Structure 1
Amino acid sequence: MQTSPHPARSHASGRGLATALTAVLVACLLSLTGVTRANAAPGDGSVSDPHIAYVGRWDTSSGTTAVANWTGAYLQTAFTGTTVKVKARDAVNFYVSVDGGPDVFHAGVRGTVNLTPQPLPAGTHTLRITYRSGDTVFQGLVLDSGARTIAPDTPSGLIEFVGDSITAGALTDRLALDSYAWKTGERLGMRHTQVARAGYCLVAQSGCTGLSCQFFKSAGTGGTDWDFSRYRASAVVINLGTNDIGHGVSGAAFQSAYTTFLRDIRAKYPNAVLFAVQTLKKRYVTETRAAVTARTNAGDTKVRYVDTSGWLTDGTDYEDGNGHPNEAGHTKFANRLAPVVSTALAGAAVKAAAPGQPGDPNIRFVGRWDTAGSTTAYTPYWAGAYYRVGFTGRTVQLKQRGTIDFWARIDDGPVKFYDDVKGTVNLTPAALAAGRHTLQVNYQVVAGSYRGDAVFQGLVLDSGATTFAPPAPSKLIEFVGDSITVGTTTSQNARTAYGWLIGERLGTEHTQIAQGGACLVAAADGCVGLERQFTKLNPNAATPDWDPTRYRADAVVINLGTNDVGHGVSSAQFQAAYSSLLRKVRAAHPQAWIFALETFRGRYVPQTEAAVQAAVSGGDSRVSFVDTTGWLGSGDLTDSVHPNDQGHRVVADRLAPIIAARIGG
């Protein structure tokens, strides 16, 4: 095994690699993929350990191997103990940084590779592994006896770089790690990905793969679609056009493809700032500018053209005559690009909304909120929706359009109920201590519908105060049901329902896709059917559909069937609808564990179990039936159906460990 800060320089082999990587793809292949993450105990160091953060386009679908696709993909985690090893399937080259130290190169290693030949001091350490070439397959970590991984502190922002050999760092000592893309991401303190490969074009031609299509795939070759719900980019930097001219792409074809490419990226990243970089060899400059202008004229205000004229000096900053920067050139490139990106991102945040107003990115809206219908008022739907925000200063007020009941909690203080209030509501009649505070608000629901005008219109802060993003759980549990899941007849409705209690206990975000009186099957007499409405923004409207990419649940709990009996739903209808709902939940939340609860009154139990078994037999191994027999006694019910506060606590006591065993917490 050879370890060194970087491999020996070989310009000839670098050029050969660039030539060999030039692939022939005349058309883009189309396929679908489902990316799932097998269940693992948090902290065990396995491929599916949720404490390991994969940055870039990784294939983790097998649950036992993680394959790094494209260039510059890396993984991060933290761990306890004094040593750490990584399991490699076959010969591979990778870089390892421990505790933020230099990236040490491991060349041609395989098997269980010791990354700490000199044991570390006892304590908590950080680890980053970046794959370079060879069998880029991660098979897990080996830790000390009793040691465990810990979720790493990763930045929330991510910048994606799209390009050819220049973006990939070709001909430099460390390839991706020496590229301007890696350096820019590190300088900005953002996660970064490089969807780049040597010899690639924008427009697909014989002998040149077109990133206008391949960008949307999981890997540099092949037709498997990438699941864009895996991460969301804050910024996308495109540096393409250097190679197209050598493959006969006309100016008109290039401009058309670039315009379409920007449009298609926008569809995948609705909020990202897109940067179209002038190539260093100044190819297709007019066409690139025109594509940006076309998108701007179409109403896209978050597209920028980046003029790179004068950034690098010929003969000094290049490795060859074909436009490949050397290490110094890539550093200069990053030094010029980073402030351009930073300024644009800051400007986009300012334009999005003033602090505390709808659209402020520091306000986290949890649940199904309508944030598209108005730029000045956000409306929650379904039960248990809430928002959380951090703010500075000593006071905070909430602007309410019409009369509403809501609950508010500041910092870790008591929850306060506001009854029938409207206008500008003062949440701090006694001023707080100066400093940073957090606020959480949820509107009161009755039978799953909001009582009054549940519309968020913004906050009023002190002069000079601002907002900040408070710490947020990394996981989310969705609870699907009727009035029981709403929390009807409890003291605080949604807040004292078992779903809310479980989410708070396990330290997760939580949503209640529930409405009083709802059935599974939509009945002719008007019973709302959640098999149909689960995919909707509003429980009482046929449109619009809910965008499932707004959040992805780690677990979904379904508690339906109590009301269907009274609406003439047959056993066969119920079972078919339950199977359909399971498919819809899986489509919305590809990685979630789905729990199908036996209703507390024992209705449609064989049909619920049969639907679960059919899903498992069909290949969905992440679905469980939960037997709730004996969970509730007469003293746990307000009436013969609805649990009281004590009953919901009992359900939470029984159900929370079942969920935690699958997703952690």
Structure 2
Amino acid sequence: MQTTPHSTPLRRVRHALSAVLTAVLTACLLSLAGGSPAQAAPGDGSVSDPDIGYVGRWDVGSGTAAVPGWTGAYLQTAFTGTTVKVRARDAVNLYASIDGGPDVFHAGVRGTVNLTPTPLSAGTHTLRISYRSGDTVFQGLVLDAGARTVSPDTPSGLVEFVGDSITAGALTDRLALDSYAWKTGERLGMRHTQIARAGYCLVARSGCTGLSTQFFKTASTGSQDWDFSRYRADAVVVNLGTNDIGHGVSGTAFQSAYTKFLGDLRATYPDAHLFAVQTLKKRYVTETRAAVSARANAGDARVHYVDTTGWLTDGADYEDGNGHPNEAGHTKFANRLAPVIGARLGSTATVKSAEAAAPGRPGDPNIKFVGRWDTRSSSTAYTPYWAGAYYRVGFTGRTVQLKQRGTIDFWARIDDGPVKFYDDVRGTVNLTPSPLSAGTHTLQVNYQVVAGSYRGDAVFQGLFLDSGATTFAPPAPGRLIEFVGDSITVGTTTSQNARTAYGWLIGERLGAEHTQVAQGGACLVAAADGCVGLEQQFTRLNPNAATPDWDFSRYRADAVVINLGTNDVGHGVSSTQFQAAYSSLLRKVRAAYPQAWIFALETFRGRYVPQTEAAVRAAVDGGDSRVSFVDTTGWLGSGDLTDSVHPNDQGHRVIADRLAPVIAARIGT
């Protein structure tokens, strides 16, 4: 049948009326049935759950997936019950912090990810999730039956950081979480966002994205405008200009763009304090100052220039020669910037005490704690739990004293001088009874262990320096080797315990940081008679506690040496059990250190050799090409042992002589 010119419009009207009637009827039926349109119920853990707070620029428009558009975005909530899981669409790397604890790294996870492999105590808990890389899509939480989310107690203030790779935390271990922006927000006790991306400029030029325009978008790429009614910043910190110079942006063009950008920020956030930060490489300093002055002359009293001269030390505080701070550098940056912002915001921000970060105090970023130290339980007392942990620091002045809580034995070495043993000391211990020459010095301290347990009160409470003296970060090795084992790896029966063990010797010889995740008497397999099993405890902060887990983002090992099996025979561990546990440990080490070379040593008494070799072969056959079995047959003679099991000083040197080249051949020196 031929249609008339009016038939198509009439059909559209009828279709529209039909759609309206259908919608009304559906709503009525839902109302009668006690239902509701597709919206989240408070407490259900879905993407639209109003008890989940999204900090930063998130696209939540689909209702079933929340996608962060810029680095450093995070979500937070509280929940009841004893477990919590997060739904991931595809493989992703994320950090999760529960009850204010460390941000635990979950690498390459997908599907429903259990964030509480060890169930929590009953009650209400807090959760924060931030994404690192991969398919950064949040699809909701899974809680216990009968549990629900609870609106979290979140700060009212928000500080926004605008910048490039430096603000994004590029080259640090945890990226955004290690950046000065994240650290400053945390110190201020405020919510924080990072509108930053590596390589970005202020001015769009020759392929470089200009944040003077991209700042106003939902994501770091794309053209969708951000809805600024979603949040209001109390402070905006701008750190731009480092990259513009490489794209031919003139001083005049930069100043003009900066002045306009500050004006646009003021229009966006009428009451916010704006901070224009001098770039660490001192680029466009005059132009940045001029832009701030122009805004001030126009009557804007809430725009401030921040002079960063002297905040960081060349070399010590940087990852590279291109101006990227290392984690310690970002911490120093935050320690200087937070009080500047806090002084302007007043009651909006509560700057956390900098006492813990003062020179020589436990939180001083210039003190490098190597090994597994508990730096989270207390800001004034740091505790090591495994053998061979130590700390290094540089300092100025002529004297240094160590503050100890209780009686302890330790070794200290100043500069390249002899190692001095301090026996049963406590309180304030003078490490320089004869004052040093004026200038800069270095200090290294490690505590004595006996059978894997620290002898005495191994708690670091800080250093006392001369009046006017300060600390600095000494040059740090670029590699780290972790040694996993029992009393042999601890260095039991040697003259200086961990210091004269093969692990310490190899680390020093190869110019690498070194850790000894070892305990006297330890087994590979946790035995029913109480033998500590390192297959389980390898992932722990404390060898003698089931919780907490160690935060593997704190350091990354380039090599891991496993020397286990000597003790398992005496605890009834079967060959089958041993091989299965060894394979499990290899998988855990690989998950913790995706790029490390793993060395599985034949025990010096030749125990469980076929099972160790079989576990290594299984790992290699499974696609892990960076695992090696090390045959130690004939390495030690009777003159190298204190008893029938433990090497003496000479024996550990012999092991180091044989093993160091094996490791160096794989990871370099």
Shift of residue 479, structure 1, vs aligned partner: 0.3
Counterpart residue type for residue 31 of structure 1? A
Query: So what's the TM-score if we normalise by structure 1?
Result: 0.58
1:281 counterpart SS class: helix
Aligned mate of 2:439, from 419, 435, 450: 435
Equivalent residue, structure 2, for 1:171? 204
Letter in 1 for 2:274: V
Q: How many Å apart are 1:577 and its aligned residue?
A: 0.8
Instruction: Tell me if the contact between 2:276 and 2:306 (Cα under 8 Å) persists in the aligned partners.
Output: no
Partner Cα distance (2:665, 2:198) in 1: 45
1:565 maps to what in 2?
569
2:385 match: secondary structure: strand
SS at match of 1:31: strand
The residue that corresponds to 2:607 in the other structure is: 603
* Distance (whole Å) between structure 2 residues aligned to residue 646 and residue 478 of structure 1: 22
Unmatched tracts of structure 2, length 5 or more? 1-58, 68-88, 94-106, 109-131, 135-162, 167-177, 182-193, 238-259, 279-283, 294-303, 312-332, 340-353
1:339 partner letter: D
Q: Does the residue aligned with 2:618 lie in a helix, a strand or coil? A: helix
1:282 matches 2:286: no
Q: Is the 8 A contact 1:480 1:556 kept in 2?
A: yes
Q: CA deviation at 1:175?
A: 2.6
Matching of residues 481-496 of structure 1 within 5 Å? 481-496=485-500
Alignment of 1:633-652 (within 5 A): 633-652=637-656
Structure 1 residues 575-584 or 499-508, which shifts more? 575-584
Structure 2 Cα separation of the partners of residues 333 and 593 of structure 1: 51
Alignment gaps of 5+ in structure 1:
1-22, 36-56, 60-70, 75-156, 180-195, 204-209, 212-219, 222-242, 263-276, 290-304, 312-325
Is residue 297 of structure 2 the alignment partner of residue 306 of structure 1? Answer: no
Q: Which amino acid aligns with 1:483?
A: S
Q: Which has the higher contact order (CA 8 A, sep 6+)?
A: 1
Map residues 406-425 of structure 1 onto 2, 5 A cutoff: 406-425=410-429
Counterparts of 1:200-599 in structure 2, within 5 Å, are 203=218, 210=219, 246=225, 249=227, 251=229, 253-254=230-231, 280-282=263-265, 285-286=268-269, 306=274, 339=307, 345-348=335-338, 352-599=356-603
Change (3 A) 1:307 1:369: closer
Aligned residue runs from structure 1 range 53-92, under 5 A: none
Matched AA of 1:408 = A
Tell me by how many angstroms 1:358 deviates: 1.0
Measure, in 2, the Cα distance between the counterparts of 1:368 and 1:661. 27
Structure 2 counterpart of 1:31, from 82, 91, 103: 91
| Change beyond 3 A, Cα 1:333–1:561 | farther
Rounded Cα–Cα distance in structure 2 between residues aligned with 1:643 and 1:334: 67
The CA distance in 2 between the partners of 1:579 and 1:330, in whole Å, is 57
Structure 1 residues 354-363 or 492-501, which shifts more? 354-363
Q: Aligned pair in 2 of structure 1 residues 586, 282: CA closer, same or farther (>3 Å)?
A: same
Aligned counterpart in structure 2 of residue 613 of structure 1, from 614, 617, 633? 617
Deviations, residues 458-511 of structure 1 (Å, cap 9, x unaligned) = 111111111111111111100000000000011111000000000000001100
How many pairs are equivalent? 427
Deviation per CA, 1:303-325: give whole Å up to 9, x if none: xx63579x9xxxxxxxxxxxxxx
CA contact (8 A) 1:254 1:287 kept: no
Cα distance in 2 between the residues matched to 1:649 and 1:389: 27
- How far apart in 2 are the matches of 1:547 and 1:166? 30
C-alpha change, 1:164 and 1:640, in structure 2 (3 Å) is closer
Question: What code does the residue aligned with 1:175 have?
Answer: C
CA contact (8 A) 2:355 2:361 kept: no
| 8 A contact 1:483–1:517 mirrored in 2 | yes
C-alpha contact 1:202 1:254 (8 A) present in aligned 2: no
Contact persistence 2:385–2:543 (CA under 8 A): yes
Aligned counterpart in structure 2 of residue 628 of structure 1, from 629, 632, 648: 632
Distance of aligned partners of 1:347 and 1:604 in 2 relative to their CA distance in 1, 3 Å threshold: same
In the aligned structure 2, how far is the partner of 1:480 from the partner of 1:165? 37
Please list the CA deviations of residues 142-193 of structure 1 after superposition, one character each: whole Å capped at 9, or x if unmatched: xxxxxxxxxxxxxxx97687348995455324736xx6xxxxxxxxxxxxxx
Q: Which moved more, 1:505-514 or 1:631-640?
A: 631-640
**CA drift at 1:579:** 1.1
| 1:608-653 Cα shifts (integer Å, max 9, x gaps) | 1111111112221111111111111111111111111111000000
Q: After superposition, what is the alpha-carbon deviation per residue over 1:254-303, rounded to whole angstroms, capped at 9, x for unaligned? A: 45xx89xx9xxxxxxxxxxxxxx9865237845995xxxxxxxxxxxxxx
The reply to whether residue 663 of structure 1 matches residue 646 of structure 2 is no
Which residue of structure 2 lines up, in the alignment, with residue 162 of structure 1? 195
Counterpart CA distance in 2 for 1:438 and 1:602 is 41
Letter in 2 for 1:506: L
CA pair 453-334 structure 1, distance change in 2 beyond 3 A: farther
What whole-Å deviation, never above 9, does each CA across 1:48-90 have from its counterpart, x for those lacking one?
Answer: xxxxxxxxx999xxxxxxxxxxx9889xxxxxxxxxxxxxxxx
Letter of the aligned partner of 1:346 in structure 2? R
Q: 1:401: Cα distance to partner? A: 1.3
Q: Contact between 2:406 and 2:456, CA under 8 Å: does it hold in 1?
A: yes
Alignment check: 8 A CA contact 1:559 1:598 kept: yes
Tell me which residue corresponds to 1:83. Answer: none
Q: Tell me the CA shift for residue 606 of structure 1.
A: 1.2
Partner of 1:84: none
Does the Cα contact within 8 Å between 1:490 and 1:496 map onto a contact in 2? yes
C-alpha deviations, 1:112-164, integer Å up to 9, x for none? xxxxxxxxxxxxxxxxxxxxxxxxxxxxxxxxxxxxxxxxxxxxx97687348
The secondary structure found in structure 2 opposite 1:383 is: coil
CA separation of 1:397 and 1:254: change in aligned 2, threshold 3 A: closer
CA distance in 2, matches of 1:545, 1:538: 8
- Aligned partners of 1:521, 1:254: CA distance in 2, in Å? 52
Q: Secondary structure at the match of 1:175?
A: coil
Find the residue that maps to 2:607 and give its secondary structure.
coil
Give the CA RMSD over aligned residues.
Answer: 4.0
Question: Equivalents in 1 of 2:285, 2:648: separation in Å?
Answer: 67
**Alpha-carbon contact 2:164-2:198 (below 8 Å) kept:** no
1:3 maps to which residue? none
Rounded Cα–Cα distance in structure 1 between residues aligned with 2:595 and 2:445 = 29
* SS of the residue 2:92 aligns to: coil
Match of 1:269 in 2: none
Task: Give the CA deviation at 1:586.
Answer: 1.2
C-alpha spacing 1:611/1:278, structure 2 compared with 1 (3 Å): farther
Q: Supply the distance in 2 between the matched residues of 1:337 and 1:538 (Cα, whole angstroms).
A: 46
SS of 1:382's partner is coil
User: Structure 1 residues 463, 199: closer, same or farther in 2, change over 3 A?
Assistant: closer
Greater Rg over alpha carbons, structure: 2
Aligned to 1:130: none
Aligned-partner Cα distance in 2 for 1:511–1:448: 13
Displacement of 1:31 in angstroms is 2.0
Describe the shift of the 1:164–1:540 C-alpha distance in structure 2 as closer, same or farther (beyond 3 A).
closer
**1:164–1:201 contact (8 Å) kept in structure 2:** no
